[in-house]
Chain A
Amino acid sequence: MNTESARDNIHVLLVDDDPNENLILQRLFRNLTTPTISLEYVGDIAKAVECVTQSPIDIVLLDNRLVPNNDFRETAPQLRNAGFTGPIGIISSDITGQYFQKFPEYGADFRLGKDEIDAKTIAFILEEYTRNPLPDDCVEDYL
């Protein structure tokens, strides 16, 4: 994760197999003035794993249903196993399924309905999950 000083430029990774979502999110981020957001887009989880291991990603927005996987319970752990420690948000057209209640067990930090995504929400989430990052010497016991 980037340090405090880098918060003005936030790297967001969108993982979604529908390119329309990238198009829509690009438009939303374009309307945000601060911080500056760089949106990376990949269409499957394999490319997402590659991306988080090779690029400085601050936050991941992960589509719940990524073909061929069933849902985030199969994909979010792959990002964690790849060593990504930043926030992961699950985005979906419908987050009412019972299994969404268990998102913390699978390494996700929040869930978000796609119809809830607008400029204000995105700004709030980025602010909430990218400020006051934990120091590097923080151990898990503090959590």
Chain B
Amino acid sequence: MFDEADRLLKALYHTLPDPVVVAGKDRIIIRVNPAAERVFGYSQEEFAGMSSRQLYAVGRDWERIGQEIFPLDSADRIYRGQSVFRRKDGTTFEGALTLSHITDEHDATVGLLAITHDLTDVLAVQAERLRMETILQEALASIPEGFVIFDEHDRLLLCNAAYRDIYPNSAEIMVPGVQFEAILRHSLRTGLYPEADRMEGGTEAWIAARMTQHRNPEGSIIQQVGTDRWVQIAERVTPDNLRVAVRTDITALLQIKSETEALGRILEDAQQEIYAFDAVSLRYTLVNRGARHNLQYDLAELRAMSPLEIMPDVSRERLAELLAPLVDGSKTFVEVRTTHRRKDGSIYACAVRLELLDLNRGRSYVAFVEDITEKVEFQSASERLGRLVNGVTQEIYVFDSRTLLFSLVNHGARNNLQYSTEQLRQMTPLDIKPEFDHARFTALLAPLLNGDKPFLEFRTVHRRRDGSTYPCSIRIEMLVTGSGSSFVAFVEDITEKLQSEARLAIKRRNFETLVSSLPDAIARAHPDTTLTYVNEVYAQLVGLSSEEMIGRRYVEFVPAERRQLALDNIAVLTPESPMSDFEQVMLDPEGDEHVILWSDLMIYEKGRAVEIVSVGRDITERHAARSHIAQQAQELALRNEALEQFTGIVSHDLKAPLRHVRQFADMIREDAATGRLDDLPMLTTQMQASVVRMERMIGGLLEYSRVAYKFIRPENFRISEAIAEARNNLAPMIEETGATVEVAAGASLTGDFELIVQMFQNLMANSLKYRQADHPPHIRISESAGENHLEIRIEDNGIGIPAAEAENIFGVFHRLHRDESIYAGAGIGLALCRKVSESHGGSIRLDPGFAGGSRFVVSLPTPAA
């Protein structure tokens, strides 16, 4: 049982940095891995014999889990859940628990295996993310502008209520995932874009143009929505290929702008003198440049006056008479000739055309197409704008483009800065922006003034009245009106945002520190394997930087032939079985091969795969050791088989002649007993032959053992010397057979001279023995040098050896020709040759393709240069 538990424990120990606890059926702990010691704070000795209950912060958890996993023979053998655990020092942590059965070879449960994954960081990150999302949602809801984000496939990611309010007809379809073009077309169908009908080419051309702007936004555009609404759209493509857009309802601003401009142009630029005065107080409300110039009063003076003061010939009663047709509606205008008196007392005659203007605030009279209504409207609109601006929580500032003096600061800004409206009217942005001086600030604003940019966005700090500062994000746009130009600044206090970012950065650094201290390669990726995080170990293994790897799919770093396997490994992951292992061979930048054991863990949220976390451990050495052991085992098996074969052959071949002698002796005895002597000569001859044969075999075996187990005494000599020695030893046989020996080899060799001579002697003896009957043997010995070995070929013109026997002939006592009357021998010679070549680190083989005889090829290593 414990062996099995050990095996599992070791496997998990090498793949998981999480605590692994092995317990018996009684839930008493048997062993733990080092991670468990580290996380829980107990030593291995303390763990041994401890109840697993001690690791749970809440005893009921332990009992509940017990109820789920017992009885142990139930079909459900894996438990997954979350619990709160207690460390030795009393601190607790929340962890994911995976509890599985350990079974024996009969599939009976013999123990339990628990893996605990500390969720502290995960839960903290989730909480932080939730909080940030809430902040984002609240922030989006609080801004008056329509805010929307489309993803890289142009699908709606999120938008705020203001965005839906701008396009009320399409609000119902504005759900995450809907295409921008679908929203556009829906709004078009419901009549939200009157300009589309006016466009040359029809609505499709309008959609095409709008889509082009959307895909390639340049600056901001003004869009008419419905009959009376105007929206400014600022779209931007983020580096992540998201489209972020802000829609500002500028209907009121446009109206003010257009009306003010219209009035301004009419009033100011008209050659005529134009003024307006209140129908009740008769005081001037508006006097244009022409009038002011002629009358020599400035506007402030005129505002305190009534027309009666510059019309000396018109009394109050006369004026009432003149205006009466306008009052009762019988006339729309009246004309009168009168005089005007300048400030210097001079008088000039003038024709006055008067009209009565009905305004919300009351009636006014306009002289010379003077429209006091528009002036009042302007003021009214300004007040409305002021209320709007004051109402939003975002800080909004308006300041003059030339003097930089604030003309409007909303309630949110005043509240944060702690200045009153009156104080702010005397201040410029430079007074609250300590990071800017005048030159730097005007340089910043220059692109707006030049029209090079529609808006500016930057971060800086604002200084409050009490001297404290706060970081803020600022967007500045230019507002051009008939009376001049101003800048509008939208300011967001980002103190909390930066604090959140800083906290997240600390967590990230902590995570990086933790991850960088691990020896394993670690990666996080989307379910499609697109990398979102790569630690230094993994990056170094691939030979790229983390930044270069992030955004690419990690299967790109798997060899092509193993890629599908890697993908299959992920495809099999399920919420029930979210983890699997995969061995991958990787080449590091130096070209060294590493065997990496990847453990892929798919993280699911509500059953949907959201992320893969992969931990890769370099098991090259372990793998090599495993291969080495397997190779050794294989070699051992081969050697055992060879040994068995050798002893089998020796015992078989040695036994045969002995047995024959015994059996022939039995027969002789039997014949002698019965008096049958006919077979005696034959039987004694056979007996003698068996004895000779056995003698030869024993002699061969002795020779073999003498050579095969001889200690090698290496010395340097030339091949030709060894061949000459062998040739000398065979001189009588060479002479007897009339053989010729041709030697074309003379390279140097390091080896045992005596053994090498023996090898050549055996090979040459074979050539002499297995010769053709009708012509003398010819032996040719040649050589060729390889990169680190010497190849020697010994060939003859003898009877040859069948190719099928190419390997068998090197066996001990293996003889191709049993008929010893023709070819006598013990079948040892070639076995010895192989032994000699192998003991020198070389080899010998028969060249099966050689025709006209036999050719043996001996390969011997040459010393490194």
Contact = CB atoms under 8 A, between A and B. Distances in A.
B293 interface: no
Given A20-B660, A24-B663, A27-B667, A68 B804 contact: yes
Contact of A67 (B648, B663, B664, B814): B814
Interface string A17-34: 110100110010000000
Contacts of B664: 24
B802 interface: yes
Given A67-B818, A68-B805, A68-B816, A114 B644 contact: no
Contacts of A20: 656, 660, 686, 690
A65 interface: yes
Interface size class of A (residues with CB under 8 A): 20 to 34
Question: Most chain-A CB neighbours within 10 Å: which of B667, B682, B802?
Answer: B667
B804 A94 contact: no
Nearest to B811: A70
A97 B648 contact: yes
A17 B820 CA distance: 12
A70 B690 contact: no
Contacts, number: 50
Contact of B802 (A17, A24, A68, A96): A68
Contacts of B663: 24
Contact of B652 (A24, A27, A43, A94): A94
A115 B802 CA distance: 33
Contact of A115 (B648, B655, B804): B655
Question: Most chain-A CB neighbours within 10 Å: which of B655, B660, B663, B802?
Answer: B663
B818 A94 contact: no
A93 B816 contact: no
Nearest to A24: B663
Given A68-B805, A94-B655, A115-B655, A43 B818 contact: yes
Nearest to A98: B644
B460 interface: no
A134 B439 CA distance: 119
A86 to B, nearest CB: 26
B553 interface: no
Contacts of B814: 67
Interface string A26-58: 010000000000000001000000000000000
Contact of B659 (A27, A67, A93, A96): A93
B500 interface: no
A24 B660 contact: yes
Contacts of A65: 649, 652
B808 A68 contact: yes
A130 interface: no
Contacts of B652: 64-65, 92-94
Contacts of A93: 651-653, 655-656, 659
Nearest to A31: B670
Contact of B815 (A43, A67, A115): A67
Contacts of B802: 68
Given A20-B686, A68-B805, A68-B816, A114 B648 contact: no
Interface string A76-114: 000000000000000011101110000000000000001
A20 B683 CA distance: 10
A70 B808 contact: yes
Interface in B115-165: none
Given A68-B804, A97-B648, A18 B656 contact: yes
Nearest to B814: A67
B607 to A, nearest CB: 54
Interface in B815-829: 815-816, 818
A98 B690 CA distance: 28
Contacts of B662: 115
Contacts of B686: 20, 23
A134 to B, nearest CB: 34
A70 B808 CA distance: 8
Interface string B641-684: 00010001101110110011011100100000000000000100
A115 B362 CA distance: 143
Contact of B816 (A24, A67, A97): A67
Interface string B259-289: 0000000000000000000000000000000
A45 to B, nearest CB: 13
A96 B814 CA distance: 19
A20 B660 CA distance: 7
B818 A18 contact: yes
A97 B818 contact: no
A43 B819 CA distance: 11
Contacts of A17: 818
Nearest to A65: B652
A25 B831 CA distance: 32
A64 B808 CA distance: 16
Nearest to B679: A27
A65 B645 CA distance: 12
A52 B660 CA distance: 27
A20 B804 CA distance: 27
Contact of A94 (B651, B808, B816): B651
Question: Most chain-B CB neighbours within 10 Å: which of A64, A67, A98?
Answer: A67
A17 B664 CA distance: 18
A20 B690 CA distance: 9
A18 B663 CA distance: 14
Nearest to A97: B648
Interface in B659-715: 659-660, 662-664, 667, 682, 686, 690
B117 to A, nearest CB: 51
A19 B64 CA distance: 84
Nearest to B648: A97
Contacts of A18: 656, 818
A65 B818 CA distance: 12
B249 to A, nearest CB: 92
A65 B802 CA distance: 18
Question: Most chain-A CB neighbours within 10 Å: which of B662, B682, B815, B818?
Answer: B818
A114 B654 CA distance: 13
B648 A94 contact: yes
Contacts of A70: 808
A93 B664 CA distance: 16
Given A20-B690, A23-B686, A68-B808, A114 B656 contact: yes
A71 to B, nearest CB: 9
B651 to A, nearest CB: 5
A114 to B, nearest CB: 6
A74 B656 CA distance: 21
When A and B form their complex, which 5 residue pairs have the shortest distance between CB atoms, in order from nearest? A93-B655, A93-B652, A94-B652, A94-B651, A17-B818
28 contacts: A17-B818, A18-B656, A18-B818, A20-B656, A20-B660, A20-B686, A20-B690, A23-B682, A23-B686, A24-B663, A24-B664, A27-B667, A68-B802, A68-B808, A70-B808, A93-B651, A93-B652, A93-B655, A93-B656, A94-B648, A94-B652, A96-B648, A97-B648, A98-B644, A114-B655, A114-B656, A115-B655, A115-B659
Interface of B: 644, 648-649, 651-653, 655-656, 659-660, 662-664, 667, 682, 686, 690, 802, 804-805, 808, 814-816, 818
Given A20-B660, A93-B656, 18 more contacts: A18-B818, A20-B686, A23-B682, A24-B663, A27-B667, A65-B649, A67-B814, A67-B815, A68-B804, A68-B805, A68-B816, A70-B808, A93-B653, A94-B652, A96-B648, A96-B651, A97-B648, A98-B644
